[in-house]
Structure 1
Amino acid sequence: MKSTLFSTSSQARTDDLVTAAAWVETPLQLLSVLEAHHIGGFARHTRVLPRAGSTALVDTVAALTRIGLPDGLTVLPPEPTPSLYRTNADIWFVGDAFSGQVQRALLSGRTRDYVIVDDGLATIHLLRLLTRRTATPLERARVRSSPPRRALGLAAAVKLRAAARAGRLTVFTVLPLPDQLLRDAAAVGIRVVGHDFPWLRSLPGGSAPDEDRVVLGSAMVRDGLLHAEPYLAWVAGQAREEPVVYYPHRREDARTLEPLNADPRVRVVPQGLPAELALRGLGERHRVVSLPSTAVTSLRVLLGRHGVTVEAVPVPETWWTDQASPGLRAHLSTFVADQKDTP
């Protein structure tokens, strides 16, 4: 079973007065909101509030503004809190349902329609929590919350599960979800809407690097999940085969970036735009290589029709640190799939 692309002809809203509010904390959340608005099935007027303090978000907003935002969508100046959720919008786009600020906003406002947009692997973790037999606190994977935060997470779960039962909760995702998870979501009233980045695909192609091989950076070293030495050796091995351009993850730090910048065989581009936006101009001569990540799925969706090979490399067991649980390792392995298996 696959998540199905939303049909605007049969389900799109027609009321010009329907409004939506979104607070986004990452470039992927922002792109997902733009795609949901572009499809036209949620709201005709959407206001997006970026979280303050994120250089990657500032750069992404600037690039998208230069390209031209979808009609009816406005991006506001960044703020440190989701103050936009205090307005009387009909729909809330939610990127990070594990955020304490978002959870408090959910509990302070009236029930409305909620649309969960992609936030990497957290999207699947959220769905699994919301579809359990009984309400479970919405807590991030690998995080031990304090009793007050667990209570807040439980109250937020109850609110979203009630919205699902009332037909007011949608998950908008590019990720291929397991069949059983889709069945579980339908059973509790969650509607899953799949998409293939129609707005991004409608844009003129961007520039392409001179190098044929593109390596996507990973934040798993910074997150304490991978040892740095084998990761850096893997990138160096890619560069021994042919010239490499390296696109860092927005959260990478000096542990990986300093050694890579010192390697003359690797051209490291500045951190900034998300891969989905920066690499949309790649062609059939290019090959993208990455450790398992959600970007593998999204780039296959975006670039597969242009003949671009997007390869996810499995992580050897010796690379993992003790902080990487068996469940996380198994989940990441789902992204190591042949390109033809990606919807």
Structure 2
Amino acid sequence: MTSPAGPPGTPPHAVPPDTSTLAFVESPVQLLNVLEWAYVAPGLDASSVTVVVLSPTDPMSRGQLRRMAEYARQTGMALRWEEARGGSAAPLHTVRALAPLLRAARRVVIGDPFSRYVQLLLTLTRARDLVVVDDGTATMEFVDLLVRGQPLVRWHRGGRSGPRDLAFAPFSSSARRRLTPGEGRRVELFTCMPIEGAPAGITVATHSFAWTRTSFGPPAVGLGADLVGTSLVETGVVDEDKYVEAVRSLATSHGANRYFAHRRENTTKLHRLAVETGLQIVRPDLPLELIARRGPVGRTVLSFPSTVVHTLPLALSGTGVRVAVCDIDPAWLTATASPRAQGFLTGVTSTARDVQRVRREGAAG
């Protein structure tokens, strides 16, 4: 397989590795953040890291993961691709295949503590060194739930539970205990998110996108604006009609020409956006932080509340690009949206550093 262009940028380490590290990722952003963590981790040799990709089913995520896997290989990491969702027998096969690796690992790195797959796998490991790398704004929710001792369930599910949730509850509780420091167990949180009041004993390490800035760019910066898409419609939080109108309004007000689609946005909605807003729809083949750093990129990047309002200012540091965020109007929320939705989305925006706020001009509501 041909490696993608661009240097991987991995630094030398004076201290040889003395641990075996196993990392579990389910999205391209999680794999990017494993690369970022390995780049700055003291004394770590990337060749001691084995990355297990618990492959998702959607084509966009799979394509981006394959591109990111090539960068990981270039740093010396070993890659193991598991078709973890490839049929009813796949989960059992995956767990059985990974059990020996889990028992041997001294350090386990995870990208999504909310993942049922990851929670199940954590019950099989004897590792005393656990690292949680960023999975976007979910990191903030993870810390909050850990502090309050509540189940590790994503905010947009709104506390809803069914028979599967009840059956899985013991594994979720076990995972939460393992992700709490104690009994000789070290837990590190590698994050660029604003974290306040992390549980006692958790080591918080700063994530500044050093690998990304070393490996890509600086980008060519244009005069116009780019708009970043969100999957809030797909997750049932925001009404599609109001979202399309909000995008149209922002594009008109700020002279945006391109719309960078989230990897989970469906093609029907994207086609509608193209027709009704005139925006060029771009489906990135890498996480947006790398796309923007590689360039070209607009002088202004517009976003709704999402992970990128925290990550892009770091990835684009020193380039002169302005990141701006438009809040979600409460009137855009669906009738079935979680009661926690507005508060969480407002918190995403209010805690973002080095971003500007833009008005919700002309949006439906």
> Given the two structures, how large is their TM-score scaled by the length of structure 1?
0.83
- Indicate whether 1:101 and 2:117 are aligned: yes
1:80-91 to 2 correspondence within 5 Å? Answer: 80=84, 81=94, 83-84=97-98, 86-87=100-101, 88-91=104-107
In structure 2, what is the equivalent of residue 73 of structure 1? Answer: 77
How many residues align? The count is 322
- Indicate whether 1:225 and 2:237 are aligned: yes
Find 2:347's aligned residue among 331, 334, 337.
Answer: 334
In structure 1, what is the equivalent of residue 186 of structure 2? Answer: 168
- Indicate whether 1:313 and 2:347 are aligned: no
AA at the equivalent of 1:29:
Q
Q: Which moved more, 1:26-35 or 1:148-157?
A: 148-157
Task: In structure 1, list runs of 5 or more residues that go unmatched.
Answer: 1-11
> How many Å separate the matches in 1 of 2:285 and 2:258?
15
SS in 2 for 1:323: coil
AA at the equivalent of 1:299:
L
> How many Å separate the matches in 2 of 1:71 and 1:201?
15
SS in 2 for 1:230: helix
- Identity, in percent, stands at 29
- Indicate whether 1:294 and 2:295 are aligned: no
Cα drift, residue 228 of structure 1:
0.9
Task: In structure 2, list runs of 5 or more residues that go unmatched.
Answer: 1-12, 85-93, 357-365
In structure 2, what is the equivalent of residue 151 of structure 1? Answer: 170
In structure 2, what is the equivalent of residue 8 of structure 1? Answer: none
Q: In structure 2, do the counterparts of structure 1 residues 227 and 77 end up closer, same or farther at CA, with 3 Å as the change threshold?
A: same
- Indicate whether 1:47 and 2:50 are aligned: yes
AA at the equivalent of 1:175:
M
> How many Å separate the matches in 2 of 1:287 and 1:101?
38
Cα drift, residue 58 of structure 1:
3.7
- Indicate whether 1:244 and 2:257 are aligned: yes
> How many Å separate the matches in 2 of 1:154 and 1:66?
35
8 Å contact 1:20–1:43 — kept in the other structure? no
Q: Which moved more, 1:34-43 or 1:52-61?
A: 52-61
Cα drift, residue 66 of structure 1:
5.9
SS in 2 for 1:37: helix
Cα drift, residue 307 of structure 1:
1.0
Cα drift, residue 209 of structure 1:
8.2
In structure 2, what is the equivalent of residue 137 of structure 1? Answer: 151
8 Å contact 1:246–1:269 — kept in the other structure? yes
Cα drift, residue 240 of structure 1:
2.6
> How many Å separate the matches in 2 of 1:235 and 1:245?
11
Cα drift, residue 93 of structure 1:
0.7
> How many Å separate the matches in 2 of 1:158 and 1:68?
30
Q: In structure 2, do the counterparts of structure 1 residues 151 and 264 end up closer, same or farther at CA, with 3 Å as the change threshold?
A: closer
- Indicate whether 1:113 and 2:129 are aligned: yes
> How many Å separate the matches in 2 of 1:108 and 1:115?
16
Q: Which moved more, 1:149-158 or 1:290-299?
A: 149-158
